[in-house]
Amino acid sequence: MNARNWIFLTFVGCLLLLAGLYHIQASAAENARTPVMREEKKIALTFDDGPHPVYTEQLLEGMKKRNVKATFFILGEQAERYPEIVKRIGEEGHLIGNHTYHHPDMSAISDKESFQKELDAVSSLFQEVTGQEMTKYYRPPQGKYSTENLAMAKELGYKTFFWSLAYVDWYVDKQPTATEAFNKLLTRIHPGAIVLLHSTSSTNAAILDDLLTKWEDMGYRFAPLTELSAPAKS
């Protein structure tokens, strides 16, 4: 190769190098202007049917250790039996919602007076126990409702909350094993999940610490129910 050809090829190579650097800088600038959007991995914990004299206390201890907050949808019958646990739930910064007094099938109740009686009995008891007004969050027992129920709850000022993840943990005398619970709760968790657990479950009380650790290891963080937009009806 003679000197003239070498100079020419060197010149072309420099031009190509400069063009490549410009393309890289332009791409970087474009990426900086257009960030990649990722769904935030937040989940909300909710507990139904309590308070339970043993298992609710264990759940509270587990969450207190990690500074995790949840929403407890309490039953009036249980709250009347264990008012000190109701007070503790509130004092430790958890939300408390209304799960009715007697745990009936609310979809079978068509008149507003009977519907309101179930909710008012709980809210009145809550105010008597804590000296505070109850947050107007409502979850129908077993998730059973009618469109009329939703309208009545709204008229009474309640927001109705359902869930997006649950498993069969409510049979007190037929509790799932820890392995069965993990298989359901770890494989089905998803960003924005509203998790329904029962605070009457011995399995939930036993696995909670490990469960929270595993979810955290998967990149999830625990958020108040108010931060998640679904599935709520008002």
**Catalytic sites, residue numbers:** 48, 198
Find, among 47, 42, 135, 146, the residue nearest to 97 by Cα: 135
* The dihedral sign for the CA sequence 50, 200, 95, 155: negative
Q: What number of other Cβ atoms are within 10 A of residue 112's Cβ?
A: 14
Phi-psi region of 88 (alpha: psi -120 to 50; beta: other; left: phi over 0): alpha
Rg (CA), the chain: 27
Q: Which residues contact 175 (CB under 8 A, 6 or more apart)?
A: 169, 201, 202, 203
CA atoms of 59 and 62, how far apart (whole Å): 5
CB atoms within 10 A of CB 48: 26
Q: DSSP 3-state helix, strand, coil percentages of the chain (rounded to 5)?
A: 50, 15, 35
